[in-house]
Structure 1
């Protein structure tokens, strides 16, 4: 494949992710929920659910960019394969959260181009530092994402069983991705890096909730 062909594929993929266009390879966990109290959601609760799910969708936009970049510049074949496998599961999350936002009558983040570009740059830097540090970055990211999703399970309205089902499956997947990164030799991130990642995440989640 020529560089031009690869560039076209990359741009097309980026535009699809930014636009919330994704195809899940697994059934949506929310599809299993037949009896729902969703009609009991008042406007305030519905907006809150939408805000949280928009944050989760942005997280998946970032994950696609990170994994694309880290997989592209990884050195070991096993590491490349792990990024590809995890990326496919993250695309499920992207599709599920986008679908849920539509059901809630809301929208994906208007700042998705910014989130994608910034995450792709971070993923490139992490990959250039070597596979151990790149995998360590993934492990720390997934640790923080797990905590973030756990908090969402307490914040989401009890009546919003569909969003809760999606978030629960996402949480399980993120834990598995983090463990896989550690198993492949991910190194621990220095405390200052962990704190910087937390600060960046706080900015993203605060802004994405509204925009």
Structure 2
């Protein structure tokens, strides 16, 4: 059933369910297996495992934020085409969320304890962007995905050489984040003003600093 065919109450219930699934670990089914060549787990030292877990906690937080952003934008989108695009991107990002959770579990680690806060803040920013205009909202997505791609590539460069498992997961995520960026631009996203881009980067850096540890 298409979201716009639901009643207001039904949409609220569906939205609440999606929010819960975004913030409660291991509550989402993945439609695709991990994008890895082997099921063998790499051998990592205690310090290496701790560092990889910190990086994956950041990436998991980024995927939680993506869910919040897309859900907020879908709520306030000004036409059905953009709303459907936001829903579609959010659904694709669920696989990324599950992949990050899976790798954290393998490392005997956990997502950020502030996950509900990250989701709530991102939902608010997404809803506000959607209220401004479709073009700004889609431009916000495009800039977000560009910055996500940057930190994914940075994380890949920081991984221990033997941890190809994590590297392959992040490489596939990077490919798809850039596809989402292109889709946002194709749907009419416009470049954001430099102060907005700088503020977004600053907020992302604060999130990463906290999520690495907590």
State the TM-score, normalizing by the size of structure 2: 0.93
For residue 28 of structure 1, what is the aligned residue in structure 2?
A: 34
CA-based RMSD: 1.3
2:55 aligned with 1:52: yes
Distance in 1 (CA, whole Å) between partners of 2:212 and 2:60 is 10
**C-alpha separation in 2, matches of 1:103 and 1:119:** 27
Higher deviation after alignment, 83-92 or 172-181: 83-92
Deviating beyond 6 angstroms after TM superposition, the runs of 4 or more aligned structure 1 residues are: none
| Superimposed CA distance per residue, residues 178-209 of structure 1 (whole angstroms, 9 cap, x where no aligned partner) | 01111111111000000000000000001000
Provide the rounded CA distance (Å) in 2 between the counterparts of 1:62 and 1:52.
15
User: Counterparts of 1:35-184 in structure 2 under 5 Å?
Assistant: 38-39=42-43, 41-184=44-187
Alignment-derived partner of residue 15 in structure 1: 20
Compared with structure 1, are the counterparts of its residues 102 and 88 closer, same or farther at alpha carbon in structure 2 (3 Å cutoff)? same
Do the aligned partners of 1:53 and 1:101 also contact (CA within 8 Å) in 2? yes
Gapped regions of structure 1 (runs ≥ 5): none
Look up the SS of the partner of 1:29 in the other structure. Answer: coil
Structure 2: tracts of 5 or more residues without a match = 1-5
- Counterpart-to-counterpart distance in 2, 1:86 and 1:157: 31
Cα distance in 1 between the residues matched to 2:174 and 2:28: 19
**Distance in 2 between residues matched to 1:26 and 1:71, nearest whole Å:** 24
TM-score, L = length of structure 1: 0.94
Q: Distance in 1 between matches of 2:173 and 2:31?
A: 14
**For the residues of structure 2 that align with 1:167 and 1:62, how far apart are their CA atoms?**
17
